[in-house]
Amino acid sequence: MLRTIPILLIVASCGARDLNTDLLPEGPPMVLQIFMKERIPQNVGSLVTDQLAFGTHPSVDETDDGVVTNATVTNQKIRIIMDELLLGRNLEEIQCAEINGMTTWERIPEGTTPEVLDRCTRPGTENCTELCTTLAPVLFDNGDPVLDANGNPVMTPIGLANLAPSGFSPVHSLRFIQGAVTITCDGDDMPLNTTDTFWQPSGNQLLPAGNQGITGLGPAIVLQPANGLKTGADCTINFDPSVTDRDGETVCTPDFAAIAQDIMDLGFHEAIENLECASAGDASGAAFTTETLAVANTSPASGATITPAQTSLSIIFNAPIDPALLTPANFALSDSVGPVAGYSVVPRMDNAAIVDITNLTLVGSENYSMTISSAVADPFGGTLPAAFTFTFSTSP
């Protein structure tokens, strides 16, 4: 996630609720809302929409109960809205300049100012003593090193990577610190895309969803799973103890049920001043359940009639499938006589949630069935709850 660095340096003030932003800098940092994508069954098909997995907000539809039991496992983005600013340096790290073809990242030290960042951005990093201080030769424009009086290369700190074109204000690259916030599903870690996962210190609770939607609420931690989530799993969002506010207090999930009457009597914005967590650092309320592995569609559709000249079938799942399980035994094709042999089961190259049955030899005027075993699973081990069968016929 690319941003100019001064956004990291916002410092929270202490005190009661800020009436301009509705932030609550006093006390431990509390999760006010968690939004994520959930698949909602419809009369025909389903609808994927952003739903509350924790908390409440007046801009949210009253039918949203704040519990997610069918979270989508692909293209998921989880937005965790806090009641106050966290220390950005414990959530994101900054990219150093490349050296010997390698890129390194470093934590941003406490007290780092825009002046420090300017001093540590090439050219002229010789006075950089705070971060990215690995030494490298000073180079001429043609790549030759600058030599001292003894013929030795002059060394200087590598400094920060600068992604801005020459003559423009520096642009620094940030990435989320691995392990600062994690997702576990059935006890297994779900890797995050640390480039698309980020800390957004802007936003507030007063701004209604409006045209900005939930992106208007903040400050927020936005989590982007790298390889999706496990299907049919109980999941939790976990905060490392290093993730704190400026007072060193750790993140917790408050008890909204305790202020339900206050919300009715006083309104949301006044009632949240009475929010409390059960215990320091207890974020157990940050939990959700994912959708089970399922067949979303087949080609041909079940019951369809196709030409016997067709040589392939396709099964579309709601999640990628473990390629090790793509075997004829798990995708068993039969005709009116018995099992059919000689076909291949392969993943779609551009979408691992699509399985293609190829090299088929079909005969005319025949009835076929394809049975997908309940052993079929996503890459994290989430299986089909039961075997799935669809049928089709061939024309004469």
pLDDT in tens, the chain (396 residues): 444 444 344 333 334 555 455 678 888 999 999 999 999 988 888 899 999 999 998 888 777 788 999 999 999 999 999 999 999 999 999 999 988 889 999 999 988 988 999 899 977 788 899 999 999 888 887 788 889 999 999 899 999 999 888 888 888 999 999 999 999 999 999 999 998 999 999 887 775 545 566 777 889 999 999 999 999 999 999 999 999 999 999 999 999 999 989 989 998 888 888 999 988 899 999 999 999 999 999 999 999 999 999 999 999 999 999 999 999 999 999 999 999 999 999 999 999 999 999 999 999 999 999 999 999 999 999 999 999 999 999 999
Q: Break the chain into its structural domains and give their ranges.
A: 2-89+177-289, 295-394
Contact at 8 Å (CB) between 387 and 373?
A: yes
- pTM value is 0.88
Amino acid, single-letter form, for residue 341: A
Q: Smallest Cα–Cα separation from 107: which of 89, 83, 120, 122?
A: 89
Report the Cα 373 to chain-centroid distance in Å.
30
CA distance 317 to 319: 5
Domain 295-394 listed as CATH 1.10.3720.10: no
Q: Please give the C-alpha separations between residue 233 and each of 68, 152, 185, 295, 393, in angstroms, as whole numbers.
A: 12, 60, 6, 17, 36
Amino acid, single-letter form, for residue 283: A
